[in-house]
């Protein structure tokens, strides 16, 4: 009976974590460049149940004999757990905003199915991070920054200085002012599963050389939207809530059975 408690409880914990991930997706449905979290749910390894004992009083020429008995009952699953929560890096829709500081990487051909392109930025600690949120602006010192104030980096890893001038971004990924042309720091990661999701639309990890055959363009005055499917996410949230309630009822039934076993059996004794 105690095994049933643990199985039902693991189901509740799993659905709670699923609900948290889905709620976070809904909260960021309008965040530019946001990548929806996906949960991978796995079952614990199955256990094989066996009955072990002995058969008694088997007649022999020398009297009774007890032989060991080993009967296989069958397998049982002991619950589920969330193995991993990973972003879905499918590109979101691109929406026109008309704001010159809004940029979007528009994927063309990716040489690797697990590879992906990012803007390169610098966080408050001076560390290199990656983002798909191109909702940029120009700060008071003329630097191109994210909406959280992080410097957008160029191809050489330096903060991009616009000197407060109007600029254009060519499709090849370079920022042009009347004074200079600065290639944007477009980074490529061959395996997005190695990236760690941080707050403020940032990812930590290592960048790789952009492989031959990878094509992309950088759009100006446009933003990549979140790839959250709001309708599907709401449906998944309702299913997770129903599964949580089902496991809750099972847990309550086990609790009531345990209560009866303690009170009624104890009273009979």
> What are the tokens at 263?
């009170």
Dihedral of the alpha carbons of 169, 175, 177, 181, in degrees to the nearest 10: -130
The model's pTM: 0.80
Distances (CA, A) of 109 to 106, 112, 215: 10, 9, 5
Give the E-state strand segments of the chain in sequence order: 37-43, 47-60, 63-76, 80-87, 94-96, 103-107, 116-122, 128-131, 137-138, 144-145, 151-152, 168-170, 174-176, 181-183, 186-189, 196-197, 203-204, 216-220, 222-224
Query: Is 90 exceeded by the pLDDT of residue 257?
Result: no
The two tokens of residue 16 are 């709670």
pLDDT score at 55:
61
For residues 218 and 106, what is the distance between their CA atoms, to the nearest angstrom? 6
Do residues 80 and 41 touch, judged by C-beta distance below 8 A? Answer: yes
pLDDT in the model for residue 58: 57
Note the pLDDT tens digit of each residue in 142-158. 999 999 999 999 999 99
CB 226 within 8 A of CB 27: no
The per-residue pLDDT for 163 is 87
> Do 241 and 248 contact (CB within 8 A), yes or no?
no
**pLDDT, tens digit, for every residue of 183-240?**
999 999 999 989 999 989 999 999 988 888 889 999 999 999 999 999 999 999 999 9
The DSSP secondary-structure symbol of 226 reads P
pLDDT tens-digit map of 26-83: 999 999 999 999 998 888 777 777 777 666 555 555 555 666 777 777 767 778 888 8
pLDDT at residue 124, as a whole number = 92
Nearest to 169 by CA among 192, 187, 186, 147: 186
């Amino acid at each position: 009976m105690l095994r049933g408690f643990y199985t039902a409880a693991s189901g509740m914990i799993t659905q709670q974590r699923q609900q948290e991930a889905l709620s976070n997706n809904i909260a960021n449905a309008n965040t530019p460049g946001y990548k929806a979290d996906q949960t991978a749910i796995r079952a614990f390894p199955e256990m094989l149940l066996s009955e072990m004992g002995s058969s008694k009083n088997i007649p022999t020429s020398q009297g009774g004999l007890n032989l060991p008995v080993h009967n296989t009952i069958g397998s049982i699953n002991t619950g589920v757990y969330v193995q991993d929560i990973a972003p879905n890096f499918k590109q979101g829709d691109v929406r026109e905003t008309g704001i010159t500081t809004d940029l979007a990487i528009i994927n063309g051909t990716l040489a690797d199915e697990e590879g992906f392109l990012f803007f390169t930025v610098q966080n408050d600690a001076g560390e290199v991070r990656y983002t798909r949120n191109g909702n940029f602006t120009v700060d008071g010192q003329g630097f191109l920054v994210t909406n959280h104030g992080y410097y957008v980096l160029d191809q050489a890893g330096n903060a991009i200085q616009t000197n407060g001038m109007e600029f254009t971004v060519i499709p090849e990924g370079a920022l042009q002012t009347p004074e200079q042309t600065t290639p944007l720091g477009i980074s490529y990661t061959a395996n997005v599963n190695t990236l760690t999701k941080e707050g403020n639309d940032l990812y930590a990890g290592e960048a790789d050389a952009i492989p031959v055959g990878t094509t992309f363009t950088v759009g100006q005055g446009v933003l990549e939207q979140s790839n959250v499917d709001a309708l599907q996410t709401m449906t998944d949230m309702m299913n997770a809530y129903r599964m949580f309630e089902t496991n809750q009822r099972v847990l309550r039934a086990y609790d009531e059975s345990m209560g009866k076993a303690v009170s009624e059996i104890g009273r009979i004794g």
